[in-house]
Amino acid sequence: MDWLHPTYGWALLLVMLVAGLFGWAAWKRRQARDQFGHRGLVAQLATAVQPRRRLVRAALVVVGAALLVVSLAGPRFGTSVREVEREGIDLMIALDVSASMQAEDVAPNRLERAKGEIKKLIGELSGDRVGLILFAGDAFIQCPLTTDYDAVRLFLDVAEPSLIPTPGTDFEIAFETALSAFGPTPAASDAERTPPDSGPRSQALLYISDGENHRGSIDYITRAARDRDIAVFSAGVGDQAGARIPIYENGQRTGFLRDRNGQIVNTRLEEDVLTRLAQNGAYFRIARTTSALIDMTASIERLEKTSLGAEEFEDYEERFQWPLALALLVLTVEVLIGARRP
């Protein structure tokens, strides 16, 4: 047995208060009767008054109020199997974990800020399958497509530059990895066997990067995405003014990244590359104090939703009708019973 609104159980204290008021009223009537005269004589004179009827009516009111509270709490027992149709899209998130994402021009740094914004975005999704790709000079699937958003968050927590030692930011290899995560394009023969109401799933790819030191052909990515009908979104994290890349050892900052000539590297947000990537999607900016990534949910809603299958689950049956019906019956009987003899 379960309760839909267990907090309403506190209302039982009001029922006890009602019972106490009835008891107090009966005590006051007894006092008034004793002051009026002898108890036996008063009983002979007031033959129309029936104390037992008053007691029965009071008991019915208390029982009816208690049943109303039980009904408000929403008792649920007995289970039924329900089928829920899930609709959504497949969204792969390609997160840049290159060394430049350690820059601290946004707090606490670009990578941590990006992970926080991704978690906010995932929190707004419902029914969509989400996967995670980590990339730098190389790429791999950190989390396959899933509706378990908590699992995606766990994989996000462990994302760091040390997972991909290859330097650079290769957008093309991240795109190829996303294609493998989405799966092969359905063949024409498969499409013929597919029911007309269950077309191929809508697919979207979100790049989150600072766009610096990029590799791969942007034109190839946009062309291939258009051929596969994949909506490509991008989010730029960082500041165009640039920042240095700190180096940490054992949790302590030991200096800043330097180039081959010994000069400190200054990394900047390259928005041109990211806006080119999002030619058939949209570009979002994650700045120092603001972020537009959460607006991506509106863009996702505009994509065509496809069926991701049906899920069966057991749920409790609502049984609030029973105590409610009993409460109405008891209160109706209370009204019909008179306090005085006709």
Confidence of residue 193 (pLDDT cuts 50, 70, 90): very low
Residues 124 and 239 in one domain: yes
Let me know if residue 288 belongs to a domain: yes
Return the percentage of the chain with pLDDT > 70, whole number. 84
Domain match, 179 and 125 both: yes
Write out pLDDT tens, residues 62-98: 898 998 888 888 887 776 666 666 678 999 999 999 9
Q: Are residues 144 and 217 in the same domain?
A: yes
Question: Domain count of the chain?
Answer: 2
**Residue 28, pLDDT above cutoff 60:** yes
79 within domain boundaries: no
**Residue 195: pLDDT over 60:** no
Residues 119 and 41 in one domain: no
174 and 217 co-located in one domain: yes
192 and 245 assigned to the same domain: yes
**Residue range(s) defining the domain that contains residue 107:** 84-312
Query: pLDDT at residue 37 above 60?
Result: yes
Do 299 and 274 belong to one domain?
yes
pLDDT at 308 over 80: no
236: in domain = yes
Using the predicted structure, report yes or no on whether residue 298 has a pLDDT greater than 70: yes
Q: What is the pTM of this model?
A: 0.65
Question: Is residue 342 very low, low, confident or very high in pLDDT (cuts 50, 70, 90)?
Answer: low
Instruction: Note the pLDDT tens digit of each residue in 196-216.
Output: 444 567 899 999 999 987 887
The pLDDT of residue 189 is above 50: no
Q: 180 and 262: one domain?
A: yes
Task: Give the 3-state DSSP-derived string for the chain, with helices as H, strands as E and coil as C.
Answer: CEECCHHHHHHHHHHHHHHHHHHHHHHHHHHHHHHHCCHHHHHHHCCCECHHHHHHHHHHHHHHHHHHHHHHHCEEEEEEEEEEEEEECEEEEEEECCHHHHCCCCCCCHHHHHHHHHHHHHHCCCCCEEEEEEECCCEEEEEEEECCHHHHHHHHHCCCHHHCCCCCEEHHHHHHHHHHHHCCCCCHHHHHHCCCCCCCCCEEEEEEECCCCEECCHHHHHHHHHHCCEEEEEEEECCCCCEECEEEECCEEEEECECCCCCECEECCCHHHHHHHCCCCCEEEECCCCECHHHHHHHHHHCCCEEEEEEEEEEEEECCHHHHHHHHHHHHHHHHCCCECC
The reply to whether 28 falls in a domain is: yes
**What pLDDT is recorded for position 192?**
39
| pLDDT confidence bin for 284, thresholds 50/70/90 | very high
Q: Is residue 341 part of a domain?
A: no
Question: Does residue 115 share a domain with residue 10?
Answer: no
Mean pLDDT score, 21-44:
76
Please check whether residues 39 and 124 belong to one and the same domain: no
pLDDT of residue 190: 46
> In the prediction, which pLDDT does 206 show?
96
What is the model's pLDDT at position 341? 60
For the segment 123-137, what is each residue's pLDDT rounded down to a tens digit?
999 888 999 999 999
Residues 99 and 174 in one domain: yes
Lowest-pLDDT choice from 56-60, 78-82, 165-169, 280-284: 78-82
157-183 pLDDT, tens per residue? 999 998 998 888 999 999 999 999 998
- Mean pLDDT estimate for the chain: 84
Q: Does residue 36 sit within a domain?
A: yes
Task: Give yes or no: residues 162 and 290 share one domain.
Answer: yes
CATH code for the domain of 128: 3.40.50.410
pLDDT at 339 over 70: no
Answer yes or no: is 342 within a domain.
Answer: no
